[in-house]
Amino acid sequence: MESHASRRSFLFGASVAGFGIFAQGRRGWAGGVGPNETLAIACIGVGGKGKSDTEHAANHGRVIAICDIDQHRLDAQAARQKDAKKYNDFRELLQELGPRLDAVVVSTPDHTHAPAAVTAMRMGKHVYCQKPLTHSVWEARLMRETARAKHVCTQMGNQGTADPGFRNGVELVRSGALGEVTEVHVWTNRPFNYWKQAPDIVARPKERPPVPDYVHWDLFLGPAPERPYHPVYHPHNWRGWWDFGTGALGDMACHTTNLPFMALQLGLPVRVSAKSSEINPETYPAWSTITYEFPARGNLPPVKLTWYEGAKDGKRNLPPQRLFPDRSFQPSDSGSLLVGSRWRMYSPNDYGANQMLWPKDGYTDLKVPERTLPRLPGGGRDIDNNHKREWVEAIRAGKPEIALSNFDYSATLTESMLLGNIAVRAGEAFDYNPETGQITGSSKAAQYLKLYFRKGWEI
Protein backbone atom coordinates (compact mmCIF):
# COMPACT_ATOMS: atom_id res chain seq x y z
CA MET A 1 0.00 0.00 0.00
CA GLU A 2 2.65 2.48 -1.03
CA SER A 3 1.99 6.17 -1.47
CA HIS A 4 1.84 7.68 -4.94
CA ALA A 5 4.21 10.44 -3.78
CA SER A 6 7.74 9.29 -4.40
CA ARG A 7 10.49 9.91 -1.91
CA ARG A 8 12.35 11.94 -4.50
CA SER A 9 9.46 14.26 -5.30
CA PHE A 10 8.56 14.71 -1.62
CA LEU A 11 12.08 15.63 -0.59
CA PHE A 12 12.53 17.87 -3.63
CA GLY A 13 9.37 19.76 -2.72
CA ALA A 14 10.68 20.35 0.78
CA SER A 15 14.18 21.27 -0.39
CA VAL A 16 12.99 24.08 -2.68
CA ALA A 17 11.05 25.64 0.19
CA GLY A 18 13.23 28.75 0.13
CA PHE A 19 12.35 29.70 -3.43
CA GLY A 20 9.42 31.09 -5.35
CA ILE A 21 5.68 31.01 -4.88
CA PHE A 22 5.64 27.28 -4.09
CA ALA A 23 7.33 28.10 -0.83
CA GLN A 24 5.69 31.42 -0.15
CA GLY A 25 2.10 30.50 -0.83
CA ARG A 26 -0.40 33.28 -1.34
CA ARG A 27 0.99 35.86 1.06
CA GLY A 28 4.68 35.22 1.50
CA TRP A 29 6.43 34.20 4.68
CA ALA A 30 4.88 35.51 7.88
CA GLY A 31 3.18 38.60 6.56
CA GLY A 32 -0.11 39.54 8.16
CA VAL A 33 -3.45 38.60 6.64
CA GLY A 34 -6.04 41.31 6.10
CA PRO A 35 -9.13 41.33 8.34
CA ASN A 36 -11.40 40.48 5.40
CA GLU A 37 -9.23 37.75 3.93
CA THR A 38 -10.03 34.11 4.56
CA LEU A 39 -7.26 31.75 5.62
CA ALA A 40 -6.87 28.63 3.49
CA ILE A 41 -6.19 25.75 5.89
CA ALA A 42 -5.26 22.08 5.50
CA CYS A 43 -5.97 19.63 8.34
CA ILE A 44 -3.75 16.55 8.65
CA GLY A 45 -5.27 13.92 10.92
CA VAL A 46 -9.02 14.47 11.25
CA GLY A 47 -10.13 11.69 13.63
CA GLY A 48 -9.83 11.58 17.41
CA LYS A 49 -8.52 14.96 18.59
CA GLY A 50 -8.19 15.92 14.95
CA LYS A 51 -11.97 15.93 14.65
CA SER A 52 -12.41 18.93 16.94
CA ASP A 53 -9.21 20.55 15.67
CA THR A 54 -10.61 20.48 12.13
CA GLU A 55 -13.96 21.85 13.21
CA HIS A 56 -12.26 24.66 15.14
CA ALA A 57 -10.04 25.45 12.15
CA ALA A 58 -13.19 25.85 10.07
CA ASN A 59 -14.36 28.51 12.56
CA HIS A 60 -11.37 30.66 11.68
CA GLY A 61 -10.76 30.00 8.01
CA ARG A 62 -11.67 27.81 5.07
CA VAL A 63 -10.58 24.18 5.28
CA ILE A 64 -9.61 23.37 1.69
CA ALA A 65 -7.97 19.98 2.35
CA ILE A 66 -8.25 17.16 4.86
CA CYS A 67 -5.98 14.15 5.30
CA ASP A 68 -6.15 10.89 7.23
CA ILE A 69 -4.80 7.36 6.83
CA ASP A 70 -8.20 6.02 7.98
CA GLN A 71 -10.76 6.33 5.19
CA HIS A 72 -13.70 6.04 7.59
CA ARG A 73 -12.47 9.01 9.61
CA LEU A 74 -11.63 10.93 6.48
CA ASP A 75 -15.06 10.39 4.93
CA ALA A 76 -16.82 11.33 8.18
CA GLN A 77 -14.98 14.66 8.25
CA ALA A 78 -15.56 15.18 4.53
CA ALA A 79 -19.29 15.14 5.23
CA ARG A 80 -18.72 18.24 7.39
CA GLN A 81 -16.06 19.94 5.27
CA LYS A 82 -17.79 19.56 1.93
CA ASP A 83 -15.40 21.82 0.01
CA ALA A 84 -12.24 20.13 1.25
CA LYS A 85 -10.20 17.87 -1.01
CA LYS A 86 -9.45 14.47 0.54
CA TYR A 87 -6.00 12.93 0.91
CA ASN A 88 -4.53 9.89 2.65
CA ASP A 89 -0.90 11.04 2.36
CA PHE A 90 0.03 14.45 3.75
CA ARG A 91 3.06 14.56 1.46
CA GLU A 92 0.79 14.54 -1.58
CA LEU A 93 -1.44 17.18 0.00
CA LEU A 94 1.42 19.60 0.66
CA GLN A 95 2.97 19.00 -2.72
CA GLU A 96 -0.23 19.58 -4.67
CA LEU A 97 -1.85 22.38 -2.67
CA GLY A 98 1.22 24.17 -1.34
CA PRO A 99 0.68 27.38 -3.35
CA ARG A 100 -2.93 27.68 -2.17
CA LEU A 101 -2.37 27.13 1.53
CA ASP A 102 -1.84 29.65 4.31
CA ALA A 103 -1.83 27.32 7.31
CA VAL A 104 -1.73 23.68 8.34
CA VAL A 105 -3.16 21.88 11.38
CA VAL A 106 -1.37 18.64 12.39
CA SER A 107 -3.31 16.22 14.63
CA THR A 108 -1.72 12.87 13.82
CA PRO A 109 -0.03 10.32 16.13
CA ASP A 110 3.15 11.68 17.73
CA HIS A 111 5.63 10.03 15.36
CA THR A 112 4.33 11.94 12.32
CA HIS A 113 4.01 15.40 13.92
CA ALA A 114 7.45 16.63 12.90
CA PRO A 115 7.54 15.20 9.35
CA ALA A 116 4.26 16.96 8.53
CA ALA A 117 4.86 20.19 10.48
CA VAL A 118 8.49 20.76 9.46
CA THR A 119 7.66 20.19 5.80
CA ALA A 120 4.79 22.68 6.01
CA MET A 121 6.93 25.31 7.78
CA ARG A 122 9.71 24.93 5.22
CA MET A 123 7.07 25.86 2.65
CA GLY A 124 6.27 29.01 4.61
CA LYS A 125 3.02 27.75 6.13
CA HIS A 126 1.80 28.68 9.59
CA VAL A 127 1.34 25.56 11.72
CA TYR A 128 -0.86 24.46 14.61
CA CYS A 129 0.41 21.10 15.92
CA GLN A 130 -1.02 18.89 18.63
CA LYS A 131 0.91 18.07 21.78
CA PRO A 132 3.38 16.72 22.45
CA LEU A 133 4.94 18.73 19.68
CA THR A 134 7.26 15.90 18.61
CA HIS A 135 8.23 12.28 19.08
CA SER A 136 11.90 13.01 19.88
CA VAL A 137 14.14 15.66 21.43
CA TRP A 138 15.97 16.21 18.13
CA GLU A 139 12.67 16.92 16.37
CA ALA A 140 11.66 19.44 19.05
CA ARG A 141 14.81 21.44 18.47
CA LEU A 142 14.28 21.23 14.70
CA MET A 143 10.69 22.47 15.03
CA ARG A 144 11.81 25.48 17.07
CA GLU A 145 14.66 26.32 14.71
CA THR A 146 12.50 25.96 11.60
CA ALA A 147 9.73 28.18 12.95
CA ARG A 148 12.30 30.85 13.79
CA ALA A 149 14.04 30.62 10.43
CA LYS A 150 10.82 30.80 8.41
CA HIS A 151 9.16 33.45 10.62
CA VAL A 152 5.88 31.52 10.67
CA CYS A 153 3.19 31.72 13.33
CA THR A 154 2.78 28.55 15.34
CA GLN A 155 0.88 27.08 18.27
CA MET A 156 1.03 23.74 20.10
CA GLY A 157 -2.26 22.16 21.12
CA ASN A 158 -1.98 22.49 24.90
CA GLN A 159 -5.21 24.46 24.97
CA GLY A 160 -5.11 25.06 28.72
CA THR A 161 -2.72 27.90 27.91
CA ALA A 162 -5.77 29.87 26.70
CA ASP A 163 -7.62 29.53 30.01
CA PRO A 164 -7.74 32.80 32.00
CA GLY A 165 -7.26 30.80 35.22
CA PHE A 166 -3.98 29.45 33.86
CA ARG A 167 -2.79 32.95 33.04
CA ASN A 168 -3.84 34.16 36.48
CA GLY A 169 -1.67 31.44 38.01
CA VAL A 170 1.34 32.33 35.86
CA GLU A 171 1.06 35.99 36.88
CA LEU A 172 0.71 35.10 40.56
CA VAL A 173 3.88 32.99 40.58
CA ARG A 174 5.83 35.56 38.56
CA SER A 175 4.80 38.27 41.02
CA GLY A 176 6.92 36.54 43.65
CA ALA A 177 3.96 35.80 45.90
CA LEU A 178 5.18 32.25 46.64
CA GLY A 179 8.66 33.40 47.52
CA GLU A 180 11.56 31.45 46.00
CA VAL A 181 10.27 28.30 44.27
CA THR A 182 12.90 25.56 44.22
CA GLU A 183 10.77 22.42 44.06
CA VAL A 184 7.93 21.33 41.75
CA HIS A 185 5.91 18.09 41.70
CA VAL A 186 3.64 17.04 38.83
CA TRP A 187 1.55 13.87 38.50
CA THR A 188 -0.92 12.36 36.03
CA ASN A 189 -3.76 9.85 35.82
CA ARG A 190 -2.49 8.50 32.51
CA PRO A 191 -2.39 5.82 31.20
CA PHE A 192 -5.15 4.39 33.44
CA ASN A 193 -8.33 3.71 31.44
CA TYR A 194 -6.91 5.58 28.45
CA TRP A 195 -4.64 3.11 26.66
CA LYS A 196 -2.69 -0.11 27.24
CA GLN A 197 1.06 -0.41 27.80
CA ALA A 198 3.17 -2.33 30.34
CA PRO A 199 2.36 -4.31 32.40
CA ASP A 200 -0.65 -5.28 30.23
CA ILE A 201 1.31 -5.27 26.97
CA VAL A 202 5.07 -5.85 26.84
CA ALA A 203 5.52 -7.40 23.37
CA ARG A 204 4.10 -7.20 19.88
CA PRO A 205 1.02 -9.31 19.21
CA LYS A 206 1.71 -12.58 17.43
CA GLU A 207 -1.51 -12.54 15.42
CA ARG A 208 -1.38 -11.04 11.94
CA PRO A 209 -4.90 -10.04 10.95
CA PRO A 210 -5.43 -8.59 7.47
CA VAL A 211 -5.20 -4.82 7.05
CA PRO A 212 -8.75 -3.39 6.83
CA ASP A 213 -9.51 -1.93 3.43
CA TYR A 214 -10.09 1.50 4.98
CA VAL A 215 -6.68 1.71 6.73
CA HIS A 216 -3.58 2.81 4.79
CA TRP A 217 -1.13 0.97 7.02
CA ASP A 218 2.06 2.04 5.27
CA LEU A 219 1.03 5.67 5.73
CA PHE A 220 0.20 5.09 9.39
CA LEU A 221 3.73 3.75 9.91
CA GLY A 222 5.20 6.80 8.20
CA PRO A 223 8.76 7.25 9.52
CA ALA A 224 8.47 4.36 12.03
CA PRO A 225 10.13 0.97 11.42
CA GLU A 226 7.97 -1.47 9.49
CA ARG A 227 5.81 -3.90 11.43
CA PRO A 228 2.66 -5.89 10.61
CA TYR A 229 -0.74 -4.29 11.09
CA HIS A 230 -2.71 -5.01 14.22
CA PRO A 231 -5.72 -3.19 15.72
CA VAL A 232 -3.77 -2.82 18.98
CA TYR A 233 -2.03 0.19 17.38
CA HIS A 234 -4.76 1.98 15.45
CA PRO A 235 -6.90 3.96 16.03
CA HIS A 236 -6.09 4.60 19.69
CA ASN A 237 -3.51 2.57 21.61
CA TRP A 238 -0.49 3.74 19.60
CA ARG A 239 0.40 6.17 22.42
CA GLY A 240 1.79 3.43 24.67
CA TRP A 241 4.29 2.11 22.06
CA TRP A 242 7.84 3.49 21.83
CA ASP A 243 7.75 3.59 18.00
CA PHE A 244 4.58 5.68 17.74
CA GLY A 245 3.84 7.57 20.96
CA THR A 246 5.48 9.29 23.89
CA GLY A 247 3.59 7.57 26.71
CA ALA A 248 1.96 9.30 29.66
CA LEU A 249 4.75 11.88 29.85
CA GLY A 250 4.27 12.97 26.24
CA ASP A 251 0.50 12.89 26.45
CA MET A 252 0.10 15.02 29.57
CA ALA A 253 3.30 16.83 30.58
CA CYS A 254 2.68 19.53 27.97
CA HIS A 255 -0.56 20.19 29.87
CA THR A 256 0.18 19.53 33.52
CA THR A 257 3.71 20.97 33.70
CA ASN A 258 2.72 23.98 31.61
CA LEU A 259 1.83 26.19 34.61
CA PRO A 260 5.13 25.78 36.51
CA PHE A 261 7.16 25.70 33.30
CA MET A 262 5.82 29.02 32.01
CA ALA A 263 5.50 30.72 35.40
CA LEU A 264 9.05 29.83 36.49
CA GLN A 265 10.55 30.31 33.00
CA LEU A 266 12.29 26.98 33.38
CA GLY A 267 13.81 26.55 29.93
CA LEU A 268 15.92 23.42 29.50
CA PRO A 269 17.25 21.15 32.28
CA VAL A 270 20.92 20.40 32.83
CA ARG A 271 20.44 16.99 34.44
CA VAL A 272 17.74 14.32 34.16
CA SER A 273 17.33 11.05 36.08
CA ALA A 274 14.56 8.47 36.39
CA LYS A 275 13.33 5.41 38.23
CA SER A 276 10.82 3.04 36.66
CA SER A 277 9.42 -0.45 36.49
CA GLU A 278 10.96 -2.98 34.11
CA ILE A 279 11.70 -1.65 30.62
CA ASN A 280 10.78 -3.63 27.52
CA PRO A 281 11.64 -2.73 23.89
CA GLU A 282 8.05 -2.17 22.77
CA THR A 283 5.90 -0.32 25.32
CA TYR A 284 6.27 2.31 28.02
CA PRO A 285 6.72 1.04 31.59
CA ALA A 286 3.99 0.54 34.19
CA TRP A 287 5.32 3.46 36.26
CA SER A 288 8.11 5.98 36.32
CA THR A 289 9.35 8.85 38.45
CA ILE A 290 11.46 11.40 36.58
CA THR A 291 13.54 14.20 38.08
CA TYR A 292 14.62 17.27 36.10
CA GLU A 293 17.19 19.72 37.43
CA PHE A 294 16.90 23.25 36.03
CA PRO A 295 19.65 25.83 36.59
CA ALA A 296 19.23 29.33 38.02
CA ARG A 297 17.61 31.78 35.60
CA GLY A 298 18.64 35.37 36.30
CA ASN A 299 17.39 36.11 39.82
CA LEU A 300 15.40 32.86 39.97
CA PRO A 301 16.96 29.95 41.91
CA PRO A 302 17.56 26.44 40.56
CA VAL A 303 14.49 24.20 40.45
CA LYS A 304 14.06 20.46 40.84
CA LEU A 305 10.91 19.19 39.07
CA THR A 306 9.68 15.65 39.70
CA TRP A 307 7.15 13.87 37.45
CA TYR A 308 5.07 10.87 38.62
CA GLU A 309 3.11 8.46 36.41
CA GLY A 310 1.60 4.99 36.54
CA ALA A 311 1.21 2.63 39.50
CA LYS A 312 3.54 0.42 41.51
CA ASP A 313 2.69 -2.24 44.07
CA GLY A 314 -0.98 -1.68 43.29
CA LYS A 315 -0.87 1.99 44.29
CA ARG A 316 -0.83 5.18 42.24
CA ASN A 317 2.60 6.72 41.84
CA LEU A 318 2.10 10.09 43.55
CA PRO A 319 4.22 12.71 45.35
CA PRO A 320 5.02 12.00 49.03
CA GLN A 321 2.13 12.67 51.38
CA ARG A 322 4.34 14.97 53.46
CA LEU A 323 4.06 17.60 50.74
CA PHE A 324 0.32 17.99 51.29
CA PRO A 325 -1.44 19.67 54.26
CA ASP A 326 -2.13 16.49 56.24
CA ARG A 327 -2.37 12.73 55.99
CA SER A 328 -6.06 12.84 55.12
CA PHE A 329 -5.56 15.05 52.09
CA GLN A 330 -6.20 13.25 48.79
CA PRO A 331 -4.53 14.87 45.78
CA SER A 332 -6.44 15.10 42.52
CA ASP A 333 -6.00 12.49 39.79
CA SER A 334 -3.65 14.89 37.99
CA GLY A 335 -2.11 18.09 39.20
CA SER A 336 0.92 20.13 40.17
CA LEU A 337 2.47 21.50 43.35
CA LEU A 338 4.94 24.39 43.49
CA VAL A 339 6.91 24.63 46.74
CA GLY A 340 7.92 28.18 47.55
CA SER A 341 9.72 29.70 50.50
CA ARG A 342 6.49 31.49 51.56
CA TRP A 343 3.61 29.39 50.22
CA ARG A 344 2.88 26.27 48.24
CA MET A 345 0.65 26.46 45.19
CA TYR A 346 -1.49 23.40 44.45
CA SER A 347 -3.37 23.02 41.17
CA PRO A 348 -5.79 20.08 40.94
CA ASN A 349 -6.32 20.74 37.24
CA ASP A 350 -4.47 19.31 34.24
CA TYR A 351 -4.50 22.76 32.68
CA GLY A 352 -3.41 24.61 35.82
CA ALA A 353 -6.57 26.69 35.65
CA ASN A 354 -7.36 26.47 39.37
CA GLN A 355 -4.93 27.09 42.21
CA MET A 356 -4.91 26.84 46.00
CA LEU A 357 -2.26 28.26 48.36
CA TRP A 358 -0.98 26.59 51.54
CA PRO A 359 -0.94 27.36 54.39
CA LYS A 360 -4.33 28.99 54.04
CA ASP A 361 -3.90 31.41 56.93
CA GLY A 362 -1.93 34.53 56.15
CA TYR A 363 -2.83 35.17 52.53
CA THR A 364 -6.34 36.54 52.88
CA ASP A 365 -4.97 39.98 52.01
CA LEU A 366 -2.92 38.77 49.06
CA LYS A 367 -3.22 41.28 46.25
CA VAL A 368 -4.10 40.28 42.73
CA PRO A 369 -0.89 40.74 40.72
CA GLU A 370 -0.62 43.09 37.81
CA ARG A 371 -2.04 41.63 34.62
CA THR A 372 0.80 41.00 32.18
CA LEU A 373 -0.72 38.37 29.89
CA PRO A 374 -3.62 39.00 27.49
CA ARG A 375 -7.01 37.38 28.08
CA LEU A 376 -9.05 35.87 25.25
CA PRO A 377 -12.76 36.58 24.76
CA GLY A 378 -15.20 34.16 26.37
CA GLY A 379 -13.23 33.63 29.57
CA GLY A 380 -12.79 29.95 30.40
CA ARG A 381 -15.43 28.79 27.94
CA ASP A 382 -14.34 26.90 24.83
CA ILE A 383 -10.63 27.32 25.50
CA ASP A 384 -9.74 24.84 22.74
CA ASN A 385 -11.37 27.02 20.09
CA ASN A 386 -9.87 30.14 21.71
CA HIS A 387 -6.40 28.57 21.52
CA LYS A 388 -6.84 28.38 17.74
CA ARG A 389 -8.26 31.90 17.69
CA GLU A 390 -5.07 33.21 19.29
CA TRP A 391 -2.99 31.41 16.67
CA VAL A 392 -5.06 32.97 13.88
CA GLU A 393 -4.69 36.40 15.49
CA ALA A 394 -0.92 35.91 15.38
CA ILE A 395 -1.14 35.01 11.69
CA ARG A 396 -3.26 38.05 10.86
CA ALA A 397 -0.91 40.37 12.73
CA GLY A 398 2.23 38.69 11.41
CA LYS A 399 3.46 38.39 15.02
CA PRO A 400 4.33 34.82 16.15
CA GLU A 401 4.67 35.95 19.78
CA ILE A 402 0.92 36.62 20.08
CA ALA A 403 0.35 32.84 20.33
CA LEU A 404 1.60 32.04 23.85
CA SER A 405 2.33 28.39 23.06
CA ASN A 406 4.25 29.18 19.88
CA PHE A 407 7.02 26.76 18.98
CA ASP A 408 9.70 28.97 20.53
CA TYR A 409 8.08 28.20 23.89
CA SER A 410 6.34 24.88 23.31
CA ALA A 411 9.25 23.18 21.55
CA THR A 412 11.37 23.99 24.60
CA LEU A 413 8.69 22.56 26.89
CA THR A 414 8.48 19.43 24.71
CA GLU A 415 12.26 19.04 24.50
CA SER A 416 12.56 19.28 28.28
CA MET A 417 9.83 16.76 29.01
CA LEU A 418 10.89 14.19 26.40
CA LEU A 419 14.36 14.08 27.96
CA GLY A 420 12.56 12.25 30.76
CA ASN A 421 11.57 9.41 28.45
CA ILE A 422 15.21 9.08 27.42
CA ALA A 423 16.25 8.73 31.06
CA VAL A 424 13.57 6.08 31.57
CA ARG A 425 14.52 4.12 28.47
CA ALA A 426 18.28 4.29 29.10
CA GLY A 427 17.96 3.57 32.81
CA GLU A 428 20.75 6.07 33.47
CA ALA A 429 21.00 9.65 34.68
CA PHE A 430 22.71 12.13 32.38
CA ASP A 431 23.77 15.75 32.01
CA TYR A 432 22.28 17.83 29.21
CA ASN A 433 23.75 20.82 27.39
CA PRO A 434 20.88 23.21 26.55
CA GLU A 435 23.02 25.10 24.03
CA THR A 436 24.12 22.14 21.93
CA GLY A 437 21.34 19.66 22.68
CA GLN A 438 23.91 17.02 23.58
CA ILE A 439 23.87 14.41 26.36
CA THR A 440 26.97 13.66 28.42
CA GLY A 441 27.49 10.98 31.01
CA SER A 442 25.48 8.29 29.21
CA SER A 443 26.24 6.99 25.72
CA LYS A 444 23.19 4.76 26.07
CA ALA A 445 20.90 7.75 26.56
CA ALA A 446 22.45 9.76 23.72
CA GLN A 447 21.26 7.25 21.11
CA TYR A 448 17.63 8.19 21.83
CA LEU A 449 17.94 11.92 21.07
CA LYS A 450 17.10 11.32 17.42
CA LEU A 451 14.87 8.39 16.52
CA TYR A 452 14.71 6.24 13.40
CA PHE A 453 13.27 7.59 10.13
CA ARG A 454 12.13 5.05 7.56
CA LYS A 455 13.35 5.59 4.02
CA GLY A 456 11.17 8.10 2.23
CA TRP A 457 10.13 9.91 5.45
CA GLU A 458 13.34 11.69 6.43
CA ILE A 459 13.30 15.32 7.45
Q: Is residue 219 part of a domain?
A: no
Q: Is residue 368 part of a domain?
A: yes
Residue closest to 272 by CA, chosen among 85, 425, 123: 425
Q: Is residue 430 part of a domain?
A: yes
Q: Reply yes or no on whether the pLDDT at 11 is more than 80.
A: no
Note down the domain range covering 345: 162-198+244-378+415-446
Q: Is residue 189 part of a domain?
A: yes
Q: What digits encode the pLDDT tens for the residues 113-128?
A: 999 999 999 999 999 9
- The arithmetic mean of pLDDT across residues 345-363, rounded, is 88
369 lies in the same domain as 391: no
Q: What digits encode the pLDDT tens for the residues 141-164?
A: 999 999 999 999 999 999 999 999
The pLDDT, as a whole number, for residue 367 is 83
63 lies in the same domain as 108: yes
374 exposed, middle or buried (CB, 10 Å; 0-12, 13-18, 19+)? exposed
Residue closest to 297 by CA, chosen among 316, 336, 320, 270: 270
The count of structural domains within the chain is 2
76 lies in the same domain as 182: no
Query: What is the percentage of the chain residues whose pLDDT exceeds 70?
Result: 92
Greater pLDDT, 264 or 377: 264
The pLDDT, as a whole number, for residue 359 is 86
96 lies in the same domain as 124: yes
The pLDDT, as a whole number, for residue 366 is 81
Confidence band for 19, pLDDT divided at 50, 70 and 90: very low
The pLDDT, as a whole number, for residue 362 is 57
Confidence band for 347, pLDDT divided at 50, 70 and 90: very high
The pLDDT, as a whole number, for residue 3 is 43
254 lies in the same domain as 360: yes
Q: Is residue 327 part of a domain?
A: yes
CATH number at residue 372: 3.30.360.10
- The arithmetic mean of pLDDT across residues 290-304, rounded, is 98
Q: Is residue 257 part of a domain?
A: yes
249 lies in the same domain as 316: yes
252 lies in the same domain as 146: no
Residue closest to 38 by CA, chosen among 395, 433, 428, 368: 395
Q: Is residue 1 part of a domain?
A: no
The Cβ of residue 48 has, within 10 Å, a number of other Cβ atoms equal to 17
29 lies in the same domain as 147: yes
Q: Reply yes or no on whether the pLDDT at 18 is more than 60.
A: no
324 lies in the same domain as 425: yes
* CA–CA separation, 337 and 331 (whole Å): 10
441 lies in the same domain as 338: yes
226 exposed, middle or buried (CB, 10 Å; 0-12, 13-18, 19+)? exposed
Confidence band for 227, pLDDT divided at 50, 70 and 90: very high
18 lies in the same domain as 62: yes
Q: Reply yes or no on whether the pLDDT at 339 is more than 50.
A: yes
Q: What digits encode the pLDDT tens for the residues 281-290?
A: 999 999 999 9
The pLDDT, as a whole number, for residue 35 is 66
Q: Is residue 34 part of a domain?
A: yes
330 lies in the same domain as 398: no
CATH number at residue 55: 3.40.50.720
Q: What digits encode the pLDDT tens for the residues 187-212?
A: 999 999 899 999 999 999 999 999 99
The pLDDT, as a whole number, for residue 170 is 98
Give the chain's mean pLDDT. Answer: 92
Confidence band for 31, pLDDT divided at 50, 70 and 90: low
Q: Reply yes or no on whether the pLDDT at 15 is more than 60.
A: no
Q: Reply yes or no on whether the pLDDT at 380 is more than 70.
A: yes
Range with the poorest average pLDDT among 37-41, 95-99, 325-329: 325-329
